[in-house]
Each structure stands twice: as structure tokens, then as C-alpha cells.
Amino acid sequence: MAVIRDMIPSFQLFQPTSVDEAIDVLDRRDNTWVLAGGLDSIDWFKDRIKRPDAVVELTGIAELKGIHMSGDALWIGAATTLHEVATNENVRTKFGLLAQAAEDVATPQIRNQGTLGGNLIQDTRCWYYRGGWPCYRAGGNICYAGTPRSMNREHCVTGSSRCVAVNGSDTATALIALGAQMVVRSSSGERTYDAEEFFIGPAIDIERMTVLEPGDILTHVRIPGDWGGARFYWEKARDRKSWDWALVSVAASIFESDGVIQRARISVNGVAPYPLRLTEVEDLIQGMPADDDTGIAAGELATRGFRPLRHNDFKVPLTRSLVRRAVRGDAV
């Protein structure tokens, strides 16, 4: 178990003013930690579970902040606050799905401090892992949440591989449904990932939740104009109205013509170790009416193969219902 102390462990703080400077520090130092808003990082530090020797703070890098249009694509710096994302006029009018998801993150105080990049790359909230238990994700040889007597109400119902922890990002769900891309830089150059490929599960690497490796920095999120003007749907089921992570969330971008679905992108989170794009559901509903029958079929397909744990079987009908509502376009 973690022992909470009054002071975080000491570390050397670096405050670069450019991405290149930040990358240089990451390349030269071992056991480094990248910090932006700090809301996830400080939790780790104060519980003394993570003990970096050097912390690279990104808030002084102007390049990583701001929102602008380039052609029909929207670019968002990874260090842009969630409040800015939720209230920006371009986001709200062209890609309102992301504004809705960002506005549902935690509380106003946290959205004023927390960043889009931080929300995307935050570590899982599994209490065994966050509490310092030596589980698979922490380098041990057991998943405490997956044992017969575990408390696993918030954990996976699909996609697990030894670890059953889920992804906690709200904005990730929306960005996948918008066909966004993540721009990553390191000393090797710049790489771009489709949003659904940016997040990885324990079958690929049990100690990471994204493709980011030591020395990498997420610099921007790019949202192409392909889904601008679509009919959007966002819903986040949670225990409390604020300051809580999703039990299940759904995001959808759907183009319709005369009530018939022409094309769609749908994703869910809270059910797997990564945000899950429902490609089979998208294929199923194309060319079908956006009505209750289509929604029911979509919900059934979305949950096919789900295998709930001892305490989270409710996630199966909940996911089924949310996908059904997203396809029908119910008002929330």
C-alpha cells in the first residue's frame, strides 16, 4: 500500500521554452517526467509512487498552446487547457463533440488547470495500481483487480490482457469519433498517429497506455474537416455529476440524409484498456435509418463478446443503451 507523506520526493525541475529544449533534456537525463497541468503528476508524486530525478515542465512553451484553423482542419496545442478547448468558438461550432467532452471533465477548477494533452495521456485510475500495489502494470506478477474477490466495478469488460484497468480520458473518446490525429515529436523527428492508434492496450505494452515512449512529447492534436458539421452525440455515464471518471462514455459523428445514415464514427470508453472505436457498428448502420431498430442492432453488436467481471456486469446493458441512443440521436 502507498504511504501518503507531507512532502513529495525531491527532483530537478527544468522549464524549457521550446519543444527542442524539452526534448534535449529528456534525451540527456534518465528517469525523467513530463509535466503540463500537473493534476495527474502531483498525485503520483505526493504518494511517492513515482520518483523522477528530473521533471520537465511544458507550460512555458508557447508552441504547445492555442487553437487555430489551418484550411478546414483544427489544430490544438497539447498544453491548451481543457477550459479553452470547451469554450473556443471554432471547437464549439465546427467540432462541438470535443467541446462537450472537454466540458464534462472533472470540475471548472480542474479544467482551468488541466490540459488537453494531459487528459489524453493520463494513466489509468485503477485504485490497486494507483495505490502502489505491485500489479502487472507496476512491474509485478498479478492483476489484483482481476481476482475472484476483487473490487472491479470500474474495470474492463473487453480487451483485457492480464491487466483489466480502463482508460480514463473523456476527450480521447470524442477525438476518435472526430477522426483526429496526434502529432508526436522526439529527437528522431515528428510522427503522426490516428487517434485510435495512439492508445494501446496491455497486450502491446502492459506498462503504457499510449504509443509515447521516453523522449516523446505530444505536441498537437489535429482534427481534419471531414466530420465538421456532422450530427454529434456525446454522453458520459458516471456516479457523480462532476469530478468523476466515466463508467462508460460514448461519442458519435454521424452524417444523415433524409433520416438515413450515410457514414458514421462511433467510439466508447470505460469498457476496455483503451478507447474503443466501433468499426463493425459503423459498417452495420451505414445506409440504415437512424431509428430505434437500428439503434438496438448497433447496441447489440457493440457489446458482443463483452465478458464482465464480478462487479461490473452493468456495463454491458449500459454500453448497449448508450450506443443505441447515439445512433438515434437522442437529446441528453
Spell out the CATH class of 8-61.
alpha beta
* Cα 211 to Cα 185: distance, rounded to the nearest angstrom: 12
> Is 118 exposed, middle or buried (CB count within 10 Å of its CB: 0-12, 13-18, 19+)?
buried
**Residue partners of 75: CB distance under 8 A and separation at least 6:** 67, 68, 69, 220, 221, 222, 223
Model confidence at 7: pLDDT above 90: no
pLDDT of residue 148: 86
* Cα 155 to Cα 78: distance, rounded to the nearest angstrom: 27
Confidence of residue 11 (pLDDT cuts 50, 70, 90): very high
Model confidence at 2: pLDDT above 60: no
Write the DSSP assignment of 203-264 as a string of letters. TT-TT-SBS--TT-EEEEEEE-GGGTTPEEEEEEE-SSSSS---SEEEEEEEEEETTEEEEE
Confidence of residue 331 (pLDDT cuts 50, 70, 90): low
pLDDT of residue 9: 87
For the chain, what percentages of helix, strand and coil (3-state, to nearest 5) are there? 30, 25, 45
pTM to 2 decimal places? 0.96
Confidence of residue 70 (pLDDT cuts 50, 70, 90): very high
Question: Do the domains spanning 8-61 and 62-121+166-226 agree at the CATH topology level?
Answer: no
- Across the chain, mean pLDDT equals 95
| Residue type, position 316, single letter | V
Tell me the mean pLDDT in the region 71-93.
98
Model confidence at 5: pLDDT above 80: no
> Is 175 exposed, middle or buried (CB count within 10 Å of its CB: 0-12, 13-18, 19+)?
buried
| Residue type, position 173, single letter | T
Tens of pLDDT along 115-168? Answer: 999 999 999 999 999 999 999 999 999 999 999 899 999 999 999 999 999 999
For residues 284-296, b (16+ Cβ closer than 10 Å) or e, as one string?
A: bbeebbbeeebbb
* Cα 318 to Cα 284: distance, rounded to the nearest angstrom: 20
* Closest residue by Cα to residue 178 from 211, 248, 225, 218: 225
Tens of pLDDT along 164-218? Answer: 999 999 999 999 999 999 999 999 999 999 999 999 999 999 999 999 999 999 9
Residue 19 C-alpha cell reads as: 519543444
Tens of pLDDT along 20-43? Answer: 999 999 999 999 999 999 988 988
The CATH classification number of 62-121+166-226 equals 3.30.465.10
Residue 280 C-alpha cell reads as: 463493425
Confidence of residue 219 (pLDDT cuts 50, 70, 90): very high
Residue 8 C-alpha cell reads as: 513529495
Model confidence at 3: pLDDT above 70: no
Tens of pLDDT along 241-260? Answer: 888 999 999 999 999 999 99
Tens of pLDDT along 298-316? Answer: 999 999 999 999 999 999 9
Residue 220 C-alpha cell reads as: 498537437
Superfamily, domain 230-328: CO dehydrogenase flavoprotein, C-terminal domain (3.30.390.50)
pLDDT of residue 6: 58
* Closest residue by Cα to residue 122 from 87, 156, 172: 172
| Residue type, position 60, single letter | G
CA–centroid distance for 178 within its chain: 13
Domain residue ranges of the chain, discontinuous segments joined by + = 8-61, 62-121+166-226, 230-328
287: DSSP letter: T
Pairing of strands 189-194, 181-186: antiparallel
Model confidence at 18: pLDDT above 90: yes
* Closest residue by Cα to residue 24 from 54, 65, 59: 54
